[in-house]
Chain A
Amino acid sequence: MTNSIPEIENNDVIFVIGSNTTETHPIIGLRMKKAVRKGAKIIVADPRKINLVRFSTVWMQHRPGTDVALLNGMMHVVLQEQLVDKGFVKEWTEGFDTFRKSLADYSPEKVEKITGVPKKDIVSAALLYGKAKRPAIYYTMGITQHAHGTQNVFAIANLALMTGNLGRESTGVNPLRGQNNVQGATDMGCIPNQYPGYQRVDLPSIRAKFETAWDAKLSDKPGLTATEMMNAAMEDKVKALYIMGENPVMSDPDTHHTVKALKNLDFLVVQDIFMTETAQLADVVLPSACFAEKDGTFTNTERRVQRVKKALNPPGKAREDSAIILELSRRMGYDMKYNLIEEVLREIGGLWPAVAGITYGRIEKWGLQWPCPTLDHPGTPYLFKGGFPRGKASFTPVSYEPSKELPDKEYPFILTTGRQLFQYHTGSMTRKVKELNIVAPEAYVEINPADAERLKIADGDTVRVTSRRGSIDLKALVSERPSEGLVFIPFHYREAAANILTNPQLDPVCKIPELKVCAVKIETGHGGQ
């Protein structure tokens, strides 16, 4: 997030695209509702009638995968209505002219045809956002999990840049991170092309810095992303995989492919708190401590480094992940020595100045938001105040490209997947909580009443959903939430794992899979085997 969570309540316009905020980030959802009570207007762009629509002024129910067209259409209107922040564009951006021309093709009339959103809604959304004083954009995986996810994000950035809506309090662009420490894991360099603090592995000076600090020879070759690792395992290029606290069998697209890839490995280690679907395939399974059983820090979606405290001892012989890694590293001939876990944070601060000012003592009660370079720095609630780190921000013209797998005669529905309020991710935690599973006991496919009637499906019927990659049987939930032609399946349930169906096509830049759009067919009469 370029802004922080408390700033949400002072937005005057909240533009939510590709985020079912009240279910995926319930407490951020509360801040949005608070903003509405204080007079803010909400624009929702979502193919499903999510809860937030109830609080919105404009709801654009666009077809999944048409975000670029929708955003370009809004920007077309912003341009026409002369709502461009010329001062900001001149002072802080580059490439505006080329970008401006790229919007010519996206008249609201044309965009209506691509997205299915009535022209008048595109115009009113653009006017609302374009005229607002403190607007912010919020998005989640509905924007990113596409083969053109990077393009979607560029389009969002363009909209914020052309209206000058970045770098001020309660004004910015806010991807909401889906997991407690996904921000932190990325910050810490658990990405194949960057060391901690987004420092590139292929720049010799940076590599030299880390080689000195770690007293080791480091590779200059950027590594593989998670999704590429599975392909490399299939091709015998990756022989051994060490997984700490992840469950790719459930979370990766095309489950059959993932399982095949994992089985093709020579050696698989899984370190987790439960015997997950992935751990069942492992050669070695290591029991680890959960969040309540260790000390450390998490970094939330607004870059706030927060203190995690040990409340319990782990069960049986389970150990903290840090202790396991340190011991294994020692046995592999690379001894990392720390007396206290806080020394690790200190080491990180030495290599990445943005967190150098954060100590456990300072975040005992309230977390601090990076950048926080010195011990007396108060942290940074919002980014880009008074400019961008790279100087000027670039406009990146983007053009609409359809999703890779669109409905056809054989597979006439679009499937989109996501999270529900009462379950979490691959379910390894929430599926173990009895109470949650009473209210959210099983997988379902949300289907529009018109489609259900046509296929003679009643609410609660067991149906078979099939894509080019596999089939699952699950209950039908006849609901007005999805539009006609669209179905939705939550991906938490191993009994009917949505990712058996999803498309492993990757975005060419960031390698994110197209989990939000694939083509499926729906059949009845399989009796729920």
Chain B
Amino acid sequence: MIDLSINGLPVSVPEGTTILDAARFADIPIPTLCHHPKLTPYGGCRLCIVDVKGINRPVTSCTTPVAAGMEVTTTSPTIEKLRKTILELILSDHPNDCMVCEKAGDCTLQELAYFYGIRENRLDGERRVYAKKDDNPFIERNMEKCILCGKCVRICDEVQGVGAIDIAYRGFNAKVCPPFEKNLDCEFCGQCVSVCPTGALTGKAWGQRGRQKDIKEIETICPYCGCGCSITLHVRRNEVIRVSSREDTLNEGWLCPKGRFGYSFINNAARLKTPLIREEGQLKEATWDEALDFIADRLGKVKAKYGADSIAGLSSARCTNEENYLFQKFMRAAVGTNNVDHCARL
């Protein structure tokens, strides 16, 4: 373990820990935009600068490992002034459209501007103007809002193993794009969207469906494959308007295209809404009482005539444990047969 002090507080962390992680371990806040705990350190945004005694310029805490006896200061008028200037520089080339931005309320850049009280920008200058080019159904790419933190590039490479995008060009012209600036053509997992600190990457399906206000967030489990990913349903007026996933979950916040973007079936107009009974070849609307009485009567008659084993039931790998338990109990105890199975083999 390495002993150091941060803001005069003694901290002890394993060798190889960065100053940033040591500070976060000690619950000392340091602002960041390009840092993500699951990705390699990048040192791009420079917001995480701190003073280290004996070094005569600020260092980026996300890329500097701790050393024994290090004395770190995370905040001072000079440091804060530098951080504010960095933010002003970023904001000098950022569209001022928080009013209509999907990310408002959940945007790291907006939050930092709020904390640093940046309203007017004294560093007005040239702005990047990009034509939108994103002929894909999932991910809205608004590159004028991109702050080049590189999280999307790293996550696509380091976590997803796809490498669909990278930073092209240099200096003021640098931008994140697929090879040859073509349309995005990838696995559409949306991992990049989940880590984007600004409104540069958002889900197309979320557009103007609701941001933070009047949204309920409910933690549940993804309905698709057997991985059991935790998902958060964002619900507004009895409709799922977005799916996300927290980092402290089994799936570490990562989802696949179905889990992240494949939820609109829930509110699809074709959902069955009323019981139906077939009459003269046609399925016709019925009440629950009619339908259930009809089923009870017909199953009773089949059982009386041919025996319980002439009735069979298929349960569902899409239903809950409780429902599956009740279904087999119904088949075994109420109908009286072991003819119950589900699609485990299919």
Pick from A26, A184, A274, A308: contact of B227, CB under 8 Å: A26
Given A30-B159, A269-B295, A308-B320, answer yes or no on A287-B278 (Cβ-Cβ < 8 Å): no
Is the Cβ of A286 less than 8 Å from the Cβ of B340? no
Residue A203 lies at the interface, judged by CB distance under 8 Å to chain B: no
Tell me the chain B residues, 300-331 only, with Cβ under 8 Å from chain A.
300, 302, 305-306, 308-331
In chain B, residues 252-295, which have Cβ atoms closer than 8 Å to a Cβ of chain A?
254-259, 261-268, 270-278, 283, 288, 291-295
| Min CB gap A197→B, angstroms | 10
Q: Which of A79-87, A217-225, A404-412, A442-450 contacts B (4 or more CB under 8 A)?
A: A217-225
Contacts of A189 in B (CB 8 A): 324-325, 328, 340
Complex: how many Å from CA A318 to CA B266?
A: 12
**Is B314 a contact partner of A241 (Cβ separation < 8 A)?**
yes
A269 to B272, CA, bound (A): 14
B223 and A429 contacting across the interface, CB-CB below 8 Å: yes
The minimal Cβ–Cβ distance linking A277 to chain B, given in whole angstroms, is 13
Q: Is B346 an interface residue (CB 8 A)?
A: yes
Interface: B344 (CB within 8 A): yes
Q: Are B302 and A190 in contact (CB under 8 A)?
A: no
Q: How far is the CB of B216 from chain A (nearest CB, A)?
A: 7
A214 to B336, CA, bound (A): 12
Interface hits, A121-161 → B, CB 8 Å = 144-145
Known: A240-B312, A296-B323. A421 touches B226 (CB 8 A): no
- Which of B276, B296, B341 meets A332, CB within 8 Å? B296
Residue of B292, B322, B341 most packed against chain A (CB within 10 A): B322
B222 contacts A by Cβ under 8 Å = yes
Contact of A229 among B265, B288, B314 (CB under 8 A): B314
Binding-face segment, A104-112, A246-254, A454-462:
A246-254
For residue A425, give the distance in angstroms from its CB to the closest CB of chain B. Answer: 8
Q: For A168, what are the chain B residues with a Cβ–Cβ distance below 8 Å?
A: none
Task: For the complex, give the distance between the alpha carbons of A286 and B278 in Å.
Answer: 12
Complex Cα distance, B346 from A225, in Å, reads 11
Q: Which of B74-82, B172-180, B229-237 contacts A (4 or more CB under 8 A)?
A: B229-237
Q: Tell me the smallest distance from the CB of B249 to a CB of chain A, in Å.
A: 8
Indicate if the CB atoms of A180 and B318 lie closer than 8 Å: yes
Q: Does A176 contact B (CB under 8 A)?
A: yes
Does A264 touch B at the CB level, under 8 Å?
no
**Quick check: A240 and B228 within 8 Å, CB to CB?**
no
> Is the beta-carbon distance between A287 and B272 smaller than 8 angstroms?
yes
Check A183 against B226 for contact (C-beta < 8 Å).
yes
B321 in contact with A287 (CB, 8 Å): no
Among B161, B298, B345, point to the contact of A511 (Cβ < 8 A): B345
What's the count of A-B pairs with C-beta under 8 Å? 451
Asked if residues A192 and B344 are in contact (CB atoms below 8 Å), the reply is no
**Contact A311–B334 (Cβ < 8 Å):** no
Find out whether the CB atom of A430 lies under 8 angstroms from the CB atom of B265: yes
Tell me if B343 is interfacial: C-beta within 8 Å of chain A. Answer: yes
From A28, A344, A367, contact of B326 by CB (8 A): A344
In the complex, A224→B225 CA distance in Å? 26
Once the chains bind, are B220 and A308 in contact (CB under 8 Å)? Answer: yes
Interface hits, A295-338 → B, CB 8 Å: 295-302, 304-313, 315-322, 324-329, 331-334, 336
**CB within 8 Å for A307 and B295 given contacts A244-B319, A333-B334:** no
Tell yes or no: A185 within 8 A of B by CB. Answer: yes
B325 contacts A196, C-beta separation under 8 Å = yes
CB atoms of A185 and B342 under 8 A apart: yes
- Closest B residue to A181 by CB, please name it: B317
Are A226 and B319 within 8 A (Cβ)? no
Q: How far is the CA of A348 from the CA of B329 in the complex (A)?
A: 11
B138 contact set on A, CB distance < 8 A: 435, 439
Contact size range, A:
35 or more
Closest CB in chain B relative to A1 CB, distance in Å: 9
The answer, yes or no, to whether A206 is at the interface (CB within 8 Å) is no
Chain B residues with CB under 8 Å of A113's CB are: none
Verify A331–B330 contact, CB threshold 8 A: no
- Which A residues touch B323, using CB under 8 A? 244, 294, 296, 320-322, 325
Interface residues of A in 417-443 (CB under 8 A from B): 421-422, 424, 429-430, 432-436, 438-439
> Would you call B113 an interface residue if the criterion is a C-beta within 8 Å of the partner chain's C-beta atoms?
no
Does the CB pair A214–B262 fall under 8 Å? no
Give the nearest-CB partner of B303 in chain A: A240
| Contact A27-B220, Cβ < 8 Å, known A219-B336, A287-B271, A326-B326 | no
Given the interface pairs A182-B342, A298-B320, A332-B299, the reply to whether A188 lies near B226 with Cβ below 8 Å is no
With A180-B225, A334-B330 known to touch, is A242 a contact of B271 (CB < 8 Å)?
no
- For the complex formed, measure the closest distance between the CB of A372 and the CB atoms of chain B, giving whole angstroms: 13
Query: Once the chains bind, are A424 and B258 in contact (CB under 8 Å)?
Result: yes
Q: Which residues of B contact A304 (CB under 8 A)?
A: 228, 250
Is B73 part of the contact surface with A, judged by Cβ < 8 Å?
Answer: no
| Residue in contact with B325 in the complex, picked from A188, A306, A334, CB distance below 8 Å | A188
B328 near A301 with CB under 8 A, answer no
Q: Decide yes or no whether A178 CB sits under 8 A from chain B.
A: yes
Q: A223-B338, A304-B228 are in contact. Are A275 and B272 (CB under 8 A)?
A: yes
Once bound together, how far apart are the Cα atoms of A515 and B138, in whole Å?
Answer: 32
CB-contacts of A232-246 with B (<8 A):
232-233, 237-246
Among the interface residues A183, A246, A251, A510, which one has the most CB atoms of the partner chain B within 10 A? A246
B324 nearest in chain A by CB position? A188
Can you identify 14 A-B contacts, CB atoms within 8 angstroms?
A180-B317, A183-B226, A185-B344, A189-B340, A190-B342, A238-B310, A248-B314, A251-B343, A273-B271, A290-B271, A296-B321, A301-B228, A332-B334, A513-B346
Task: List the 7 closest A-B pairs by CB distance, nearest first.
Answer: A300-B228, A316-B273, A296-B320, A245-B316, A223-B338, A287-B272, A26-B256
What residues make up the interface of B, taking CB atoms closer than 8 Å to A? 136-138, 158-161, 187-189, 204-205, 216, 218-230, 233, 235, 238-240, 249-251, 254-259, 261-268, 270-278, 283, 288, 291-296, 298-300, 302, 305-306, 308-346
Additional 5 contacts, C-beta under 8 A, given A189-B324, A439-B136: A27-B251, A188-B321, A348-B325, A365-B219, A432-B268
Chain A positions near chain B (C-beta within 8 angstroms): 5-6, 24-28, 30, 33-34, 37, 54-55, 144-145, 176-193, 195-196, 201, 210, 214-219, 221-227, 229, 232-233, 237-246, 248, 251-252, 266-267, 269, 272-275, 279, 282-288, 290-302, 304-313, 315-322, 324-329, 331-334, 336, 341, 344-345, 347-348, 365-367, 421-422, 424, 429-430, 432-436, 438-439, 510-513, 515
